[in-house]
Amino acid sequence: MLCTFYLKKAKLHIRFHKLDNLLKDRLEPLKIFWGNLELATISPKTNFVVDKMYSFKMKNETQISTPAIIMKYKIENHIVNIAPIVSILLDPMSVPGKTVKSKKGKMIVLNQLAEKLSKKGFAVTAIHPESVTCYNQTTISGYVYTCSSEGDKYTWEKAVFPFPKVIYNQISARKWEALETSKYAKEVIVKKIGEGFFNACFLNKYESYSILSENPYLKNFLLDVKIYNANNAVKMLKKYDMLYFKPISNSLGNGIWRLLKLKDRRFVFQTKRDNKVVNYVSKNVRKLLQLFESNIGNTRYLIQQGVKLLRHDDRIFDIRALTQKNCLGEWSLTGSGARVAAPNAFMTHVPNGGEIMDLDLILRNTIDDKEKLNDIYKQLNEMSTEIPRTIEKEFEVNFGEMSMDIGIDKNNNLFLIEINAKPMRFDEVEIQEEAVNKLSAYISYLSNWE
C-alpha cells in the first residue's frame, strides 16, 4: 500500500492512497515509524479518508525534513512502518563534479536504479562520506530522489532522513576511497548496518589472485602472477614468451605494458601513449626493465603470464562477464559480451580502442565444435559465479556485483584476466537493463521489506 508524505517544520504531512483496514475503526493510537525513528503518534479520533492530506506534529527529537515522497507502508501492532531507506554512497564532496546533478557516467545508471526503486515504493537517497559523522548517528543529510508534482520528472532534492537500511557503495575511485573521510564513513556504516552495506571496496589484483589460487576449481583458470621486480620478470621470461605488467591498484586498462620475447633473441616492451602503441626494442632485457621502472615511478606492479588469445578478424578478443546477486541474495551470471581489440593492439578495453561485439556470434564463427562451445558456456557460467563467492568469503565483506575479463586461448581453454568489484556501465543495452533489474531486486532483498 502506498502513501505520500513530506516532513517540514517539525510536522509530518501524510496522505494514504489506499487505506489498510487497521487504519479504520481504531480504538488505540497509531505510531508512525520511518526506519528506527518514531515520527508521530496519531489519536484514535483521527478518521482517515483516502487521498486526504493529514498533518501531525512530529516528535520533538525528530529533526528530519524531506520533500514529498511516494512510499509503501505496512501496519502491524498499531504501528505504521514506512518503507526502508536505500542510499547510494557517492564520492566525497571534495571531488569536483561528482554530485547527484551530474548527467554523465555512473549517475546515468544510478538514476535508472533510483527510478526503479522509487516505483517499488522505497525512499532512494544519496549521501556523501562527510555526512556520516558518528556511530550513534540516527539521521543523515543528503538527497532524496523524488517525483515532480506533475508526476513526469524525477529530481534529487536536499533532505535530512533516518539512517539508511541499505547503502550501495559507489565511491568511484580508489584514491577517493582512501581518503580518511571515506574510510571513517565506511567503518561507521558497516558497524551500523552490516551486510546492508555492499560493494564495500575495490579489489587488489594480487590479493585477489592469491585468494583464488587456493580454490581447487578456480586455480585451473588462473594465469601465473608475480609481484613485479626485475628478477621475477627475468625468471618468468624463461617460462613464457609474453608477459603483461599491470598496476596492482588500477583498472580500465590504464598503465598496462606488454613484454614479448622474439625468436631473434630481441625483446619488445610495449605500452600505449596518446592512443598509439609505443615499442621499445632491445636484446638486453635488463635495460628494458630499467626503462620500465623509470616510467612507473613508485607505482606497484604485478607481472601476469601472457597467453595467445583467440582472434576474430585477426584481432584478439576476450569476454566481459557481469555477475550479480539476485532477489535471493545468490550470485548468478547477468550477461556477457565480447571486447575485440583494435588491429595490432594488445588490449581489448573500449577506452583503448577496443570494440564491442556479440559474443555468441564471435564464438560460433571461431569455434566449430558445438560440444566444445557448450562446454565453454558452462565453464563461463560456473567460474563467473564461483569467483565472487570465493572473493567475498575470504575478504569477509559484502559485494553485490562483479565484472570479469575472461580470455580463451587457441586450445579453447578459459583464463581469468581481470576482476572488477565496481563494474562500469555495460554498453550492451539488454545486459545493462538486466543489471539494473537485478540490482534493484538485490537491494529489495537486503531491505527485508518485500
What is residue 151's predicted lDDT score, i.e. its pLDDT?
60
What is residue 386's predicted lDDT score, i.e. its pLDDT?
98
What is residue 402's predicted lDDT score, i.e. its pLDDT?
97
**Overall average pLDDT of the 158-186 stretch:** 95
User: Is there a single domain that holds both residue 330 and residue 378?
Assistant: yes
What is residue 106's predicted lDDT score, i.e. its pLDDT?
74
User: Is there a single domain that holds both residue 319 and residue 250?
Assistant: no
User: Is there a single domain that holds both residue 55 and residue 106?
Assistant: no
Banded model confidence at residue 150, pLDDT cuts 50, 70, 90: low
Q: Per residue in 296-324, pLDDT tens?
A: 999 999 999 999 999 999 999 999 999 99
The three-point CA angle 123-126-130 to 5° equals 135
Q: How far apart are CA 44 and CA 119, in angstroms?
A: 31
What is residue 349's predicted lDDT score, i.e. its pLDDT?
81
Last residue of a domain, one of 183, 198, 213: 198
Q: Is the pLDDT of residue 105 over 80?
A: no
User: Is there a single domain that holds both residue 216 and residue 111?
Assistant: no
**Overall average pLDDT of the 174-178 stretch:** 92
Element (H, E) at 17: none
User: Is there a single domain that holds both residue 194 and residue 233?
Assistant: no
Q: Per residue in 25-61, pLDDT tens?
A: 777 899 999 998 999 999 988 889 999 999 999 986 6
Total structural domains in the chain? 4
Banded model confidence at residue 252, pLDDT cuts 50, 70, 90: low
For the chain, the average pLDDT equals 92
C-alpha cell at 404: 570479469
User: Is there a single domain that holds both residue 411 and residue 440?
Assistant: yes
* DSSP codes of every residue in 161-194: EEPPSEEEE----HHHHTSHHHHHHHHHHHHHHG
Last residue of a domain, one of 305, 340, 358: 305
Q: What is the DSSP letter of 309?
A: B
User: Is there a single domain that holds both residue 261 and residue 183?
Assistant: no
Q: Is the pLDDT of residue 82 over 80?
A: yes
User: Is there a single domain that holds both residue 164 and residue 286?
Assistant: no
What is residue 293's predicted lDDT score, i.e. its pLDDT?
97
Q: Is the pLDDT of residue 62 over 90?
A: no
The boundaries of the domain holding residue 326 are 205-222+309-447
User: Is there a single domain that holds both residue 336 and residue 428?
Assistant: yes
Task: Mean pLDDT check: name the lowest of 132-141, 211-220, 422-431.
Answer: 422-431
> pTM here?
0.93
Q: How far apart are CA 353 and CA 335, in angstroms?
A: 22
Q: How far apart are CA 159 and CA 39, in angstroms?
A: 15
